[in-house]
Chain A
Amino acid sequence: MATVDLPGRPAPARNVPARASVRLQSLGLFFLLLGGSLVWISGHVPVEDVTLVFGLGDLAPRIPVDPPNAVLTIALLYFVAGGVALAHRWTGRYATVALVGAAVLAVPLILILSVALGNVTQTNLLPLLTEALRLSTPIALGALAGLWCERAGVVNIGIEGMMLASAGIGFTFYALVAGAAGGPWLIVAVLVSIGVGGLLGLLHAVLCVTYRTDQIISGVAINLLAIGITSFLRRQVLLPLGVGTGVTLSAIKIPFLSSLPVVGQTLFVGKPIFFTMFVVVLLSRVVLFRTTWGLRVRSVGEKPHAAETLGVNVVRIRYQSVVLGGLIAGLAGAWFTLETVGSFEDLMTNGTGFIALAALIFGKWRPWPAFGGALLFGFSAALGSRIQLLGVEVSGFPVPSQFLQALPYVVTVVVLAGAIGRAIPPAADGVPYEPSR
């Protein structure tokens, strides 16, 4: 039926753009098909009960699961989610909620399947969770480093290099002054790492803000610089010193919470940078959205000339933000050498800085969602090593752990692309700023 829609006339109650509608419907179809194949799978999994344990001690809840029925239940939920998505015209935003819920269900599904098909009958979930949180620390910190730069309009693909350099230089300092043997020098070394990150942030700011270099090129230069400096230091300083594995930051217990039964010992005992990460996420969120400086940072990343006409010093704000990002990247670097491994290897950040940028985009340049993205990547890594231990077999053939490890990513990417839509970066992200004269 032909209707003419004009300004001034009230818009239709729910105005879903055509493309989003297609997205939601194909996702709905995807989950219906997935549910269908799960019904088939449920008839083929071993019927032997598996037990999911949560926490330590006698109080820890133990959940016995009957794999065929569990898989069937999840299949049913997928049917519901698929239906809700297909009928998005009537279900509205519940369609998105249902799809995100369906994506989360992939985690128990993979766990149950892995245990049922593996060579053990029970698995403990709590260590899996804490391991995921631990592994997501440098990713989350890296994402926040990127967040501060990009919110101010400076793309920073040099986070990887900032992390690597601060990991390497911080540890070299530690090895030189204290033989990597712990003590207060360890704390100083962490501060050195943070400082190195800040200095590289300053370098990035000088290149990108003052000299208006292409921001990608500056970032690549920082990455290459970091690789060069750290491998030089390792060969010329660390190896001759003969320092073995050093003492790392010791675990701290959160008072009271750590003595909680079942979860206390695993969730509330951890190392300092790990806990600091939560503080940094929280502070980033508060500073960015609740303070005047945060407002100015956001305006500078969105429309620097508007900020300029209001007397905001764009150059200064960009410098501050990029250096702050560098400091956070430096803390992430310290996590590798000074909190986790206790030694330095060439290229030991292993792409974490780039994964952090992916987490940042996943979280649409917002602190908590970016942390969520980091958690997803961390969880995937933790799940991968767990599945490796379980030794999953399907009718006698071992399933490569990478295959199951990839599943959370696949589901997430599908849901992200379909339900949540495009991630839109700050408008002036990557655009050099030319002040008026």
Chain B
Amino acid sequence: MTDMNEIAPSNHARPRAAVLELEGITKRFPGVTANADVDLTLHEGEILCLLGENGAGKSTLMNVVFGLYRPDEGVVRVRGEAVSFGSSADAIRHGIGMVHQHFQLVPVMTVAENVVLGKEERRGPFLDIEAARRNVRRLSQKYGLDVDPDAVVGELSVGAQQRVELVKALYRDAEILILDEPTAVLTPQEVVEFFGVVRSLVDSGKSVIFITHKLREVLAVADTVVIMRSGRVVSSTVVEGATEQGLAREMVGRDVGFEIEKAPVSPGAAVLEVEDLHVADDRGHLTVAGFDLVVRAGEIVGIAGVEGNGQRELVEALAGMRTPQSGTVRICGTETTHSSPRDVENLGVGHVPEDRGKHGLVGVYSITDNLVLNRYHSRRFSRRWLMNRAVMRKHAQRLVAEFDIRTPSTEVDAATLSGGNQQKIVMARELSGDIRLLLVAQPTRGLDVGSIEFIHRQIVDRRDAGVAVLLVSAELDEVLTLSDRVGVLYRGTLAAVMDRGDADRDTVGLLMAGGATG
């Protein structure tokens, strides 16, 4: 694995002018103040990391800078000139470009069309698509952003789509680039590559605001770091000398434990037994091919691996959502190879799926409804066909308190909450009740430090209470932090299973990349 810290921060020697200044920016939405009196200064050729938890107001602030929101108070200055943006077109005209967290690309159009949209060159009455292609090629060569102008955007990988977004901003002569959580969707290798691109942009005179909540990344690329918490700037310093611990404390507002306390492992009886499992993906290709594993009560088995090595199909097959081609799955001695999700659930299995928006929650249902999705039919919540809403609501109120779900009420739609709180709903539903096996896939994807800590604690508590836990995660750190045993999934089979004590980053990293077992 490549270490992100290898990329040296740029030197601070040359004197730099302020290109963007924010003074006293306040932005209110009905019921919330998203930004309160925010000051920020970005200098030429600087990488400024805007760090903060989800909901700290980072994206809102940047949407103000990009002209998508109008601030209620405060001044934005670009190169010393006070500006007031009516729309993003104004911001673009002032040399500001933004790569949004959720890409703003039209999937059915080509790269060239996406890049020129809104600033097209014409030939007579027609769109000059040839010029667009030329421009994409020129920019992609100049900045080392490999994109094919004729590719259809929807068919590109996430990393390539991000390059398209950068080309789009550069095509509009952006001098100030705002990157909103650009690494959230990238693999570790792509992140390293991406940091190289950011460096080369800064070297050619651009200034970058980099929004993130990953501390490692701040230390790896930033010159300056501005930390936001609950809509306010709580700290603004150069990054030299900063530590992960210190940044985390500023960001969360208290000390954060990176290590997690666990009772010594004492595995009990086998709870999950998987033998020679073969599972096909949606296109009919076998992505799990000959998977064997036993998970015992009271232990966490972590499965590391680069995404796309069969993780999704494996977990779905175990949870009863996908029928395996062959092999057997036994849970607490009962064969569940061809069981339905409800049968699996009834054996005492909690399942936290990797895509919470798609399989974990119904976004337009209330928190109360989401919390009983797996048990609404039980004696406790229903009598025949009538649901007992009062009991459900009480149940929801208890879990909201227990799992620290931050919400105005239990009756709001789940989709209105932040990612961390949505994941807490899923955890609350799947972890409450009498479970013996917990299947957890990518439990902290896209979450902030505070939520990650909480969710990790919950998983470990279940394990300490004697639940067997199978954790599948693309975050190697997460697997190493939580697991008692570590397995590496490579091309659909377990490349190795080892005790946590034998698993160091290098060994596991090598196995993830397909290296031979020792």
> CB of B340 within 8 A of chain A?
no
Chain A residues near B278: list those with CB within 8 A.
Answer: 2
Query: A314 to nearest B CB, angstroms?
Result: 10
Knowing A292-B127, A309-B88, A310-B117 touch, does A436 contact B285 (C-beta < 8 A)?
Answer: no
> CB of A89 within 8 A of chain B?
no
Chain A residues near B287: list those with CB within 8 A.
Answer: 4-6
A2-B278 Cα distance, complex, nearest whole Å = 8
Q: Which of B68, B117, B308, B309 contacts A312 (CB 8 A)?
A: B117
Q: Which residue of B lies closest to A287 (CB)?
A: B125
Contact B120 A292 (CB under 8 A): yes
Chain B residues near A4: list those with CB within 8 A.
Answer: 285-287, 289, 310, 491-492
Contact B491 A6 (CB under 8 A): yes
Q: Report the count of interface residues on B (CB-CB < 8 A).
A: 46
Query: B279 to nearest A CB, angstroms?
Result: 11
Chain A, 1-14, contact with B by CB distance < 8 Å: what is the 0/1 string? 01111110000000
Chain B residues near A313: list those with CB within 8 A.
Answer: 87
A437-B27 Cα distance, complex, nearest whole Å = 11
How many A residues are at the interface, by size bracket?
20 to 34
Q: Which residue of B lies closest to A21 (CB)?
A: B284
Chain A, 286-307, contact with B by CB distance < 8 Å: what is the 0/1 string? 0000111011101100110111
Chain B, 78-120, contact with A by CB distance < 8 Å: what is the 0/1 string? 0000000001111010000010100111111100011011111
> CB of B210 within 8 A of chain A?
no
> CB of A427 within 8 A of chain B?
yes
> CB of A214 within 8 A of chain B?
no
A249-B122 Cα distance, complex, nearest whole Å = 39
Contact A295 B283 (CB under 8 A): no
> CB of A17 within 8 A of chain B?
yes
Contact A303 B127 (CB under 8 A): no
Q: Which of B66, B108, B127, B281 contacts A290 (CB 8 A)?
A: B127
> CB of B69 within 8 A of chain A?
yes
Knowing A296-B117, A311-B87, A311-B88 touch, does A306 contact B127 (C-beta < 8 A)?
Answer: no
Residues of B317-348 contacting chain A, CB below 8 A: none
A3-B288 Cα distance, complex, nearest whole Å = 9
Residues of A5-35 contacting chain B, CB below 8 A: 5-7, 15, 17-18
Chain B residues near A306: list those with CB within 8 A.
Answer: 103-106, 114, 117
Q: Which of A290, A303, A436 contacts B105 (CB 8 A)?
A: A303
Q: Which residue of A lies closest to B132 (CB)?
A: A295
Residues of B457-495 contacting chain A, CB below 8 A: 491-492
Q: Which of A7, A291, A299 contacts B125 (CB 8 A)?
A: A291
Contact A310 B88 (CB under 8 A): yes
Query: A134 to nearest B CB, angstroms?
Result: 31
Contact B127 A294 (CB under 8 A): yes
Contact A437 B70 (CB under 8 A): yes
A312-B284 Cα distance, complex, nearest whole Å = 42
Query: A268 to nearest B CB, angstroms?
Result: 28
> CB of B63 within 8 A of chain A?
yes
Contact B98 A18 (CB under 8 A): no
Contact B118 A436 (CB under 8 A): no
Q: Which residue of A lies closest to B121 (CB)?
A: A292
Query: B290 to nearest A CB, angstroms?
Result: 8
> CB of A346 within 8 A of chain B?
no
A437-B67 Cα distance, complex, nearest whole Å = 9
A295-B89 Cα distance, complex, nearest whole Å = 17
Of B69, B116, B127, the most chain A CB neighbours within 10 A belong to B127
Chain B residues near A307: list those with CB within 8 A.
Answer: 106, 117-118
Chain A residues near B385: list those with CB within 8 A.
Answer: none
Knowing A5-B287, A17-B283, A310-B88 touch, does A305 contact B127 (C-beta < 8 A)?
Answer: no
Knowing A291-B127, A310-B88, A312-B118 touch, does A427 contact B108 (C-beta < 8 A)?
Answer: yes
> CB of A393 within 8 A of chain B?
no
> CB of A308 within 8 A of chain B?
yes
A308-B100 Cα distance, complex, nearest whole Å = 12
Query: A64 to nearest B CB, angstroms?
Result: 50
Chain A residues near B284: list those with CB within 8 A.
Answer: 17-18
Of A296, A305, A310, the most chain B CB neighbours within 10 A belong to A310
Contact B100 A303 (CB under 8 A): no
Query: B43 to nearest A CB, angstroms?
Result: 25
A150-B491 Cα distance, complex, nearest whole Å = 43
Of B106, B125, B491, the most chain A CB neighbours within 10 A belong to B106
Chain B, 252-295, contact with A by CB distance < 8 Å: what is the 0/1 string? 00000000000000000000000000100111111101100000
Query: A151 to nearest B CB, angstroms?
Result: 11
A4-B108 Cα distance, complex, nearest whole Å = 29
Contact B118 A311 (CB under 8 A): yes
Chain A residues near B310: list those with CB within 8 A.
Answer: 4
A294-B310 Cα distance, complex, nearest whole Å = 42
Contact A311 B92 (CB under 8 A): yes
Chain B residues near A15: list those with CB within 8 A.
Answer: 283
Chain A residues near B127: list those with CB within 8 A.
Answer: 290-292, 294-295
Chain A residues near B120: list those with CB within 8 A.
Answer: 292, 295
Chain A residues near B100: list those with CB within 8 A.
Answer: 309
Chain A residues near B108: list those with CB within 8 A.
Answer: 298, 302, 427
Contact B104 A305 (CB under 8 A): yes
Chain A, 265-298, contact with B by CB distance < 8 Å: what is the 0/1 string? 0000000000000000000000000111011101
Q: Which of B106, B126, B281, B283 contacts A298 (CB 8 A)?
A: B106
Q: Which of B66, B70, B90 contacts A309 (CB 8 A)?
A: B66
Q: Which of B70, B92, B308, B492 contacts A310 (CB 8 A)?
A: B92
Contact A309 B106 (CB under 8 A): no
Query: B95 to nearest A CB, angstroms?
Result: 13
Chain B residues near A303: list those with CB within 8 A.
Answer: 104-107
Q: Which of A6, A295, A308 contacts B308 (CB 8 A)?
A: A6
A6-B305 Cα distance, complex, nearest whole Å = 13
Knowing A303-B106, A310-B119, A437-B70 touch, does A3 contact B87 (C-beta < 8 A)?
Answer: no
Contact B122 A292 (CB under 8 A): yes
A25-B289 Cα distance, complex, nearest whole Å = 28
Chain A, 302-344, contact with B by CB distance < 8 Å: what is the 0/1 string? 1101111111110000000000000000000000000000000
Contact B125 A295 (CB under 8 A): no
Contact A299 B109 (CB under 8 A): yes
Query: A316 to nearest B CB, angstroms?
Result: 12
Of A15, A295, A305, A308, the most chain B CB neighbours within 10 A belong to A295
Contact A436 B69 (CB under 8 A): yes
A291-B125 Cα distance, complex, nearest whole Å = 7
Chain A residues near B68: list those with CB within 8 A.
Answer: 308-309, 436
Q: Which residue of A lies closest to B285 (CB)?
A: A5
Q: Which residue of B lies closest to A436 (CB)?
A: B68
Chain B residues near A311: list those with CB within 8 A.
Answer: 87-90, 92, 118-119
Give residues in A with beta carbon < 8 Å to B: 2-7, 15, 17-18, 290-292, 294-296, 298-299, 302-303, 305-313, 427, 436-437
A–B pairs, 26, beta carbons within 8 Å: A2-B290, A3-B289, A5-B281, A5-B285, A6-B491, A18-B284, A290-B127, A291-B125, A292-B127, A295-B113, A295-B116, A295-B117, A296-B118, A299-B106, A299-B109, A302-B107, A303-B107, A307-B106, A307-B117, A308-B88, A309-B66, A310-B88, A310-B104, A310-B119, A311-B87, A436-B68
Q: Which 6 A-B pairs have the closest CB atoms?
A: A311-B89, A310-B118, A5-B285, A306-B104, A292-B120, A436-B68
A310-B88, A310-B168 known, 14 other contacts, Cβ within 8 Å = A3-B286, A4-B287, A4-B492, A15-B283, A294-B127, A299-B109, A305-B104, A307-B118, A309-B88, A309-B104, A310-B92, A311-B87, A427-B107, A427-B108
